[in-house]
Copies of this chain bind each other. A is one copy, B any other.
Amino acid sequence: MLTNVRKLAFGSPLPTAEEVHQRLTKVQALAVFSSDALSSVAYATEEILLVLVVAGVAALGLSLPIALAIAGLLAIVATSYYQTIHGYPSGGGAYIVAHDNLGMWPGLTAAAALLIDYVLTVAVSITAGVAAITSAFPALLAFRVGLCLLAVALITWANLRGVRESGTLFAIPTYGFVFIFLALIVVGLARLISGTLSPLPAQTPAVAEGSIQALTVFLILRAFASGCTALTGIEAISNGIPAFQKPEADNAGKTLIAMATLLVGMFLGITFLARSLGVVPVEQETVVSQIGKQVFGYGPFYLALQATTALILVLAANTSFADFPRLSSILARDRYLPRQLANLGDRLVFANGIVALAFLASTLVVIFGGQTHRLIPLYALGVFLAFTLSQAGMVRHWQRESGQGWHWKATLNGLGAVATGVVLLVIVTTKFAHGGWIVVLLIPGFIWIFSAVKHHYVTVAEQLSLEGLRPEEWEGLASQRGHKVVVPVSGMHRGTLAALRFARSLSKDVTALVVDVEPEVTARVREKWPVWGHDVPLVVLESSYRSTIGPLLAYLDEVDRREPESGLAVVVLPEFVPARWWQDLLHNQTARLIKNALIYRRGQEGKDRVIIDVPYHLRR
């Protein structure tokens, strides 16, 4: 039954042999890998304006020079990643590049930064996507947290089923978004030049973080830092090189150039339009929506703009649902994270990583009330840390390889490392007080977890190892007989009889126990025992805290103490199993609680206890 529900929701299990990788053309690859990067133009400009507006509406004019600076940075980073693509044609994620070239700790730092940013990518993209919808339908604004959670749930479901990185599926929303966004810019510019587009009426900004502040260098740098979210996702292509058609590295490089060009054009275009129209950031409507309404008017084009914006942001979140489980499975294989994260599920996806990501992102959405601009101070910090470590690793890589012209290559990556490193410092400094500190604390926290997990696995392997044992020692014990057996009894029924029968087949030393939680039940057991209990003695245990488990464990401990010489203490548990799984919810599952308590408690004097389950199946 449960299996059928599962099949219906997530599809039938796939055999391991079906794990194949589709090769993508450049056009498909651009759609698959660029949604994260391109979608950031939906909110990056707004985040710059939201910082500047604190210094008054006049300060908004600075958005254009800031956007130009970010475009320059983007060019440097893209060039640097172009090199990475050719240096690591098998896929050069920041963790791999930093681990290979700089060592374990820088590798783990990059991994921690990336995991955090994948979670933030989901939260930021989903909240921004929902903002695109609520801008068009303000009545939905009140439900934004619920809508965000619904969107995360849908993406999670799709990923658990296993979405193939299907070029065609991704192409429609991505190219749709690019097309309509470019149309917005072109039509907007044309109408500006022809003088048919008037600026928006003056609005009071709703999201002023206090009264007007002075326009300090710090504030400008903070606006720059907020805008740097435009660069997130630019590394996606270098992670996915093996998915390209041959020659992989060449095609990936060309795709990267196309993506960077589009990104720069769209980002500068929308920022220029926002300035020319005098857009002021407000709470209930996004900047892109304001521009869209003014340029297109409220109609099909405007609605298409909002719809494709929401869709590409969902795709951007979806990218993290591929990246986070993949990186955490690599870390789990290297024993830095729980090994469950490396399990390929029924549908050939890393299901545990997907669920973990969904949970973390949903928590962020609820805590931050579904508001993009409150999440932004936490965002991009991890990405730039990973950028810096990965570029620095590439410098080392070229130096080690010492191939033709390695000096040039190392210099280019070095320039990237220095640029992203400086921006990282700017981001940490300006965002620290607004929430960046959370990420600054989380990164060492993650690294600590990574090393604690590794330590645990190493310790367990040592303890379980057969090294130093002699087979003869174990041989001798096989003849061990005369186990001491106890049977906890919850009432006189057929399940109890089945357990007693099995217990008596094991040993002559059997004792039945009843814990006196409900006096009527105890009395009934006592009354029927002479008939059904055969020769097995019945012991009644008192319970003053209504607990079945406490007195049971106390009794076992006492037996251990009294008879340290006796054999293994074996506990036989009668357990009746309902005919359908959901009926389990209607029973106390005391047997299961006892099992858990017994497994975790080592017996006195280091004796382990064996637990035996005798199921009695109900038929209706």
Whether A146 sits at the interface, judged by CB under 8 Å, is: yes
User: Cβ of A475: which chain B residues have Cβ within 8 Å of it?
Assistant: 534
In the bound assembly, the distance between CA atoms of A14 and B146 in angstroms comes to 40
**Given contacts A474-B497, A545-B15, A615 and B619 within 8 Å (CB-CB):** no
Known: A460-B578, A575-B599. A466 touches B505 (CB 8 A): no
Taking CB atoms and an 8 Å cut-off, the chain A residues in 121-168 that contact chain B are 142-146, 149
Q: Does chain B have a CB within 8 A of A587?
A: yes
Residue of B whose beta carbon sits closest to that of A455: B620
**CB distance B608 to A617 under 8 Å?**
yes
A87 contacts B by Cβ under 8 Å: no
Q: Is A612 part of the binding interface, using a Cβ–Cβ cutoff of 8 Å?
A: yes
State whether A585 and B338 are in contact (beta carbons under 8 Å apart), knowing that A466-B492, A479-B505, A531-B471 are contacts in the complex.
yes
Interface presence of A494 (CB below 8 A): yes
Chain B hits for A613, CB < 8 A: 595, 599, 610-613
Interface pair B457/A586, CB less than 8 Å apart:
yes
**Which stretch from A224-232, A323-331, A364-372 is at the chain B interface?**
A364-372
Please report the C-alpha to C-alpha distance between residue A459 and residue B579 in the assembled complex, in whole angstroms: 11
Q: Does A6 contact B (CB under 8 A)?
A: no
Query: A54 within 8 Å of B by Cβ?
Result: no
Contacts of A82 in B (CB 8 A): none
Q: Which of A466, A581, A606 has the most CB of B within 10 A?
A: A466
- List of B residues within 8 angstroms of A497 by Cβ: 466, 469, 474
In angstroms, Cα B505 to Cα A506, docked, is 10
Which segment, of A61-69, A339-347, A390-398, A401-409, faces chain B? Answer: A339-347
Report how far A618 CA is from B606 CA in the complex, Å: 11
Contact between chains at B478 and A608 (CB < 8 Å): no
Question: Which single member of B366, B371, B465, B619 contacts A493 (CB below 8 Å)?
Answer: B465
Interface residues of A in 492-535 (CB under 8 A from B): 492-495, 497-498, 500-502, 504-506, 528, 531-532, 534
Within A543-584, which residues are at the interface with B (CB < 8 Å)? 544-547, 568, 575-578, 581, 583
Measured in the bound complex, the distance between the Cα atoms of B609 and A158 in whole Å is 37
Q: How far is the CA of A464 from the CA of B617 in the complex (A)?
A: 10
CA distance A16 to B547 in the complex (A): 10
**Closest B residue by C-beta to A283:** B142
Chain B residues, Cβ within 8 Å of A15 = 544-545
Q: Is the CB of B546 within 8 A of A369?
A: no
Q: Is A103 an interface residue (CB 8 A)?
A: no
Q: A587 with B339: in contact, given A474-B497, A478-B501, A615-B609 (CB under 8 Å)?
A: yes
Within 8 A of B (CB), among A311-339: 338-339
Closest residue of chain B to A481 (Cβ to Cβ) is B505
**Residue A453 contacts which of B146, B483, B581, B586 (CB distance < 8 angstroms)?**
B586
A145 CB, min distance to chain B CBs, angstroms: 5
A366-B146, A608-B498 known; A588+B343 contact, CB < 8 A:
yes
Number of copies: 2
Which residues between 455 and 495 of chain A lie within 8 Å of chain B, taking CB atoms? Answer: 456-457, 459-460, 463-466, 469, 471, 474-475, 477-481, 483, 492-495
**Bound Cα distance A528, B479 (Å):** 22
Q: Which of A479, A481, A505, A532 has the most CB of B within 10 A?
A: A505
Given A466-B532, A493-B464, A505-B481: A615 and B588 interface contact (C-beta under 8 Å): no
Residues of A in contact, count (CB < 8 Å): 91
Closest CB of chain B to A249's CB: distance in Å?
A: 31
Q: Does A616 contact B (CB under 8 A)?
A: yes
B502 touches A610 (CB 8 A): yes
Is A602 at the interface (CB under 8 A from chain B)?
yes
Residues in chain B near residue A297, CB distance under 8 A = none
Q: How far is the CB of A473 from chain B (nearest CB, A)?
A: 9
Q: How far is the CB of A569 from chain B (nearest CB, A)?
A: 12
Verify if A77 is at the interface (C-beta below 8 Å from B): no
Q: Do B612 and A610 touch (CB < 8 A)?
A: yes
Taking a contact as CB atoms under 8 Å apart, the answer to whether A339 and B588 are in contact is yes
Give chain B residues whose Cβ lies under 8 Å from the Cβ of A505.
477-481, 483
Q: Which residue of the partner chain B has the closest CB to A517?
A: B16
> How long is the Cα–Cα vector from A615 to B339 in the complex, in angstroms?
20
Given A149-B366, A581-B600, A611-B613, answer yes or no on A466-B480 (Cβ-Cβ < 8 Å): no
A445 CB within 8 Å of chain B: no
Q: Which residues of the partner chain B approach A178 to less than 8 Å between Cβ atoms?
A: none
A340-B589 Cα distance, complex, nearest whole Å: 9
Judge whether A544 and B493 touch: CB under 8 Å.
no
Name the B residues within 8 Å of A465 (CB-CB): 493-494
| Residues from chain B with Cβ under 8 Å of A193 in the complex | none
Q: By CB atoms of chain B within 10 A, which of A16, A475, A492, A600 has the most? A: A600
A495 to B609 CA separation, bound complex (whole angstroms): 13
The 10 closest A-B pairs by CB, nearest first: A464-B493, A478-B504, A611-B613, A142-B369, A338-B586, A143-B369, A145-B145, A15-B544, A602-B617, A13-B545
Q: Given known contacts A17-B544, A460-B583, A466-B528, what 15 new A-B pairs fall within 8 Å (CB)?
A: A16-B545, A340-B587, A343-B546, A343-B588, A344-B546, A346-B545, A465-B493, A474-B500, A477-B501, A480-B501, A502-B568, A577-B599, A598-B615, A599-B613, A611-B613
Q: Can you show 17 pairs from A to B with CB atoms below 8 A apart?
A: A15-B545, A16-B545, A17-B544, A343-B546, A343-B588, A453-B586, A460-B576, A460-B578, A460-B618, A464-B616, A480-B505, A481-B505, A506-B506, A577-B600, A602-B617, A610-B614, A612-B613
Interface set of A (CB-CB < 8 Å, partner B): 13-17, 142-146, 149, 338-340, 343-344, 346, 366-367, 369, 371, 374, 453, 456-457, 459-460, 463-466, 469, 471, 474-475, 477-481, 483, 492-495, 497-498, 500-502, 504-506, 528, 531-532, 534, 544-547, 568, 575-578, 581, 583, 585-588, 595, 598-600, 602, 606, 608-620
